[in-house]
């Protein structure tokens, strides 16, 4: 009888183990490499639980600069990317290891700085504002992290044939939230996406001084990775996320995000639109 009881216990434990293993194998999870702006603004906190509820896919987000997110995709260490550095994205997709690249949403970059505006940037075109900052030696804080924001900043310097350097120019190598705090503490200028600035402005001594230029348009795409990038990539998960975030309900959520708290949407949903018409 004792032997039979012992055997029954073993069989029960084995069954539990099998059930747990089956549960683990049934769980689907993917890695999303995205920008710090989608995390710092709070957008991911709204979208990802809804995506999991709708599809069953769990998501591990890695919030880094767009350049770093693309590099994770290149190494096959992410299943899907949500990024905002169009030139770098196009070059990456042309390499052939990524799948579809689809328009998701946009907002804009803004130039922010101290209310006193020592460089006289308020209301002038973005490239001219950057020229004035450099000419005056007023402080500028850069992310310096190969992010989409950093790439756009460098494009504005290049328009003026300026290579920023010297005591007036500081690079943090950090995300947007941290860079905004450094700029605020040092009464300096910086370029930021509007969403992150609005979500953190209550803790910042910075004003919006430049906005509205076509050159400040900030466009986000979702990029699906394929097995060509690495054997660990899950194309099914990538396709699920890309299809969901460009779907009607997710686009509605993106369009509503921020309205209640900030009085305006932080992102504009763009799935299905003509990208060349954005901001016109």
Bridge partner residues of 60 (DSSP): 31
Residue 23 CA: distances (Å) to CA of 20, 27, 102, 232: 5, 6, 33, 20
Predicted confidence at residue 74, as pLDDT, reads 97
pLDDT at 27: 72
Cβ(44)–Cβ(250) below 8 Å? no
Q: What is the pLDDT of residue 279?
A: 64
User: Hey, how many other C-beta atoms are within 10 angstroms of the C-beta on 236?
Assistant: 12
- pLDDT bin (cut points 50, 70, 90) of residue 115 is very high
| 103-114 average pLDDT score | 96
pTM for this entry: 0.83
Q: Is the pLDDT of residue 124 over 90?
A: yes
In angstroms, the Cα distances linking 102 to 66, 95, 134, 273 are: 15, 17, 36, 10
Name all domains of the chain by residue range, CATH numbers in brackets.
Answer: 29-106+218-274 (3.40.190.10), 108-216 (3.40.190.10)
H-helix segments, 65-175: 66-74, 86-94, 126-136, 148-159
Which pLDDT tens digit goes with each residue over 216-275?
999 999 999 999 999 999 999 999 999 999 999 999 999 999 999 889 999 999 999 998
Distinct helix (H) and strand (E) counts, the chain: 12, 10
What does the pLDDT look like over 15-67, one tens digit per residue? 444 344 333 335 799 999 999 889 989 999 999 999 999 999 999 999 998 99
pLDDT in tens, 171-211: 999 989 999 999 999 999 999 999 999 989 999 999 999 99
pLDDT score at 280: 57
Percent residues over pLDDT 90 in the chain: 81
Strand partners, 113: 207
pLDDT at 32: 98
């Amino acid at each position: 009888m004792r032997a039979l009881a012992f055997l029954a216990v073993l069989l029960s434990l084995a069954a539990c183990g099998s059930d747990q293993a089956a549960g683990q194998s049934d769980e689907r999870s993917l890695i999303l490499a995205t920008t710090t702006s989608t995390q710092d603004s709070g957008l991911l906190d709204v979208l990802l639980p809804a995506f999991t509820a709708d599809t069953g896919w769990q998501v591990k987000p890695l919030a880094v600069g767009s350049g770093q997110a693309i590099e994770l995709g290149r190494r096959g260490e992410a299943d899907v990317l949500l990024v905002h550095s169009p030139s770098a994205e196009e070059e990456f997709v042309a390499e052939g290891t990524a799948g579809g690249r689809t328009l998701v949403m946009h907002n804009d970059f803004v130039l922010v700085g101290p209310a006193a505006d020592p460089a006289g940037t308020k209301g002038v075109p973005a490239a001219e504002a950057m020229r004035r900052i450099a000419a005056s030696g007023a402080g500028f804080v850069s992310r310096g992290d190969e992010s989409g924001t950093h790439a756009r900043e460098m494009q504005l310097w290049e328009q003026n044939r300026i290579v920023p350097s010297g005591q007036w120019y500081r690079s943090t190598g950090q995300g947007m939230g941290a860079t905004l705090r450094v700029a605020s503490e040092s009464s300096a200028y910086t370029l930021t996406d509007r969403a992150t600035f609005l979500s953190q402005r209550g803790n910042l001594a910075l004003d919006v001084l430049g906005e509205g230029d076509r050159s400040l348009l900030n466009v986000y795409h979702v990029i699906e990775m394929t097995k060509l990038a690495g054997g660990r990539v899950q194309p099914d998960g990538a396709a699920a996320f890309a299809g969901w975030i460009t779907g009607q309900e997710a686009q509605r959520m993106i369009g509503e995000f921020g309205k209640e708290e900030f009085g305006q949407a932080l992102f504009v949903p763009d799935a299905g639109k003509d990208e060349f018409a954005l901001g016109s």
